[in-house]
Amino acid sequence: ENAGGLRGLKYGVTKDYLMGVRFYDVEGNLVIGGGKTVKQATGFNLPGLMVSSEGLLGVMVEFILRVIPKPESSKSLMVVYSDIIRACETVSEIIASRIFPATMEILDSFTIKAVREAVKSEFPAGADALLLIEIDGHPGVVNEEFDRILKICNSFNGVVRVANSESERDDVWEARRMALSSLARLRPTVILEDATVPRSKVPAMMKAIQEISARHDITIGTFGHAGDGNLHPTIITDKRDRDEMRRVKRGIDEIFHAALKLDGTLTGEHGIGFLKAGYLEGEVGAGTVNFMKKLKQGVDSKNILNPHKMNL
């Protein structure tokens, strides 16, 4: 999987740091791709191929990763909103202004409440949404970007709170990392999705999720990496309730269709796996799926490696 994370907005995802790989093919042959040089044009881009192959093409044994120095300075802020759509519009405006924070996360009111009930948190009661933003880099650049972000947040009626110490900063980001586990404790079954849309479409996608939740009478807490359009609508349910699970299935279908309608993708970082396999052709088309099947068949004709994953 091409995993990302909170800092993917500025620093990218796994593929941006994978320079080389070594893996064994299904016949036990060692395959080497990439290396330690910044530029390499020797044959196929095997690191790029393997990074999102979900274990279908070989058994990975070694990685060569690029590392970067820690930033000189950083500043974290929490922005409180009474309207989540205004929070989403803030995200779009910050990106449109060519400002790229290290992190720009969003939490809806249901997720905020869940975190507040689960852990000691500075998250305010009654907020409809929070944006958690961190800027890093050269101190002068950090201060200049902070001033610009502050003006944008204020223009969308956001109330800005700045972390004034390292401990305050750590508390805010630890609370964000508790979002999923805080939601998961509420009911027996939790279904986490990661449909991703262009950043200009984040407000429309958030509105679609809200409408889907209301239409099918299902509980969805949404949080995620708003800065790169990667939202995590998280359905809180109970798989023992068959009627509710039917409504959940319809809701998931509509979340995927909404993302694709907005020129997005089924998955920004989690991968297709087994559960999303039936939706794959709807995004990439039959020709692409057939090409992937031929590639899989060519290197693993007996379908030994992760059989049936992605329906390949």
Q: What is the CATH number of the domain that holds 134?
A: 3.30.70.3450
* Residues 104, 176 share a domain: yes
Q: What is the pLDDT of residue 95?
A: 96
* Residues 165, 135 share a domain: yes
CA dist., res. 248 & res. 213, Å (int): 9
* Residues 258, 194 share a domain: yes
Would the pLDDT of 228 be above 90?
A: yes
* Residues 283, 269 share a domain: no
* Residues 137, 202 share a domain: no
* Residues 145, 79 share a domain: yes
Say if 233 falls within a structural domain. Answer: yes
Mean pLDDT over each residue of the chain, to the nearest integer: 96
Number of structural domains in the chain: 3
Say if 270 falls within a structural domain. Answer: yes
Say if 12 falls within a structural domain. Answer: no
Say if 283 falls within a structural domain. Answer: yes
- CATH number for the domain spanning 217: value is 3.30.70.2740
Say if 10 falls within a structural domain. Answer: no
Domain that holds residue 50: 18-66+278-311
CA dist., res. 131 & res. 141, Å (int): 21
In sequence order, the 6+-apart residues with CB closer than 8 A to the CB of 270 are 1, 192, 193, 194
Q: Tell me if 226 sits within 8 A of 106, measured CB to CB.
A: yes
pLDDT in tens, 69-100: 999 999 999 999 999 999 999 999 999 999 99
CA dist., res. 76 & res. 172, Å (int): 9
In sequence order, the 6+-apart residues with CB closer than 8 A to the CB of 268 are 4, 194, 195, 196, 225, 228, 229, 230
The count of other CB atoms within 10 Å of the CB of residue 215 is: 12
Say if 199 falls within a structural domain. Answer: yes
pLDDT in tens, 256-277: 999 999 999 999 999 999 999 9
Nearest Cα residue to 273 out of 196, 206, 193, 199: 193
* Residues 164, 153 share a domain: yes
